[in-house]
Amino acid sequence: MAKKPEEIKPGLPAWQGTFGDLMNLLLCFFVLLFSMATMDAAKFEEVAASFSSAFGIFSGGEMAIGKGALIGDGVSQLTELSSYITSMGLAQSGEDSDAEEDAVGEKEEHELKEALEEKQLEASQELAEQIQEAIEEGDIENQVFLNYTSQYVELTIQGSILFNSGKVDIKEDAIPVIDKVGQILESYAGGTIEIEGHTDNVPMSGGGKYSNNDELSSGRALSIFNYFVENTNLDPAKLLHTGRGEYDPIADNSTDEGRARNRRVEIKIYNPLSANY
């Protein structure tokens, strides 16, 4: 008599269920890794180190499977991983928020600086217009040249008008010009006034009192300063005098005309909105 065929039990074998669960967990794990693909390298290394120490997947994974610990531990660790990713996202969001606030702050600061610069320039322009009118009334527009920036109004007088070559004593025929400039300063300069002496780049020659252009430019600025102190009501505490020598040219020193322009005295009248007022 023939044997009856063995009855096949319904459902999958037990090993296939365990294998399927394992595949699902691995799929979830790689999906999580993929979701973190946009993070920076430093943060990825932190996550990788956390996985390596907690899961035992990256090192000794085959032992974990053999012991059956991977599945049980993996479920609990995935929950912790979710919390980690959530907190990491919040931290990243906080960093982005701080960066946005910094960008807004920098933009506002830049706009404030531009607004202040514009107001300062308007103040200098208004002061320059008043001083230019006084220069024309004093009939010294051919001896005194005006310019202005957002910080100050600048009066420039050529050195040949004020001094003899290599000298610091003010020429007699320059006194009327200096007197009118002093009157303008008394009328329109309420803050700091800076007197700068400038020279060309030709070295000093002879055995005079001044051995180089630095000393000569300083001596000329000091002569103008002393004249204003002795002959005007300007506050000496608000008068500055400096020698710039040959280091701030406004023209080419290779020509006679350029060197003549570089030999000059500049008087800077700071406007009320200037930081140096």
Say how many residues make up the chain. Answer: 277
Q: What pLDDT sits at residue 54?
A: 53
* Nearest of 245, 152, 232, 138 to residue 198 by alpha carbon: 245
| pLDDT for the residue 101 | 73
Q: What's residue 110's pLDDT? A: 85
Report the Cα 109 to chain-centroid distance in Å. Answer: 11
- Identify the pLDDT of residue 236: 96
pLDDT one digit per residue (tens) for the chain, 277 residues: 555 555 555 666 777 777 777 888 888 887 777 776 655 666 666 666 665 555 454 444 444 444 444 444 444 555 555 665 566 666 666 666 677 777 777 878 888 888 989 999 999 999 999 999 999 999 999 999 999 999 999 999 999 999 999 999 999 999 999 999 999 999 999 999 999 999 999 998 766 678 899 999 999 999 999 999 999 999 999 999 999 999 999 999 999 999 999 999 999 999 999 988 8
pLDDT score, position 109: 84
β-strands 152-158, 144-148: how paired?
Answer: antiparallel
Residue 99: the pLDDT is 72
**Does the pTM exceed 0.85?**
no
Sign of CA dihedral 201, 202, 203, 209: negative
Nearest to 153 by CA among 175, 182, 125: 125
pLDDT, residue 160, reads 95
- Whole-angstrom CA distances from 38 to 41, 163, 274, 276 are 9, 72, 49, 51
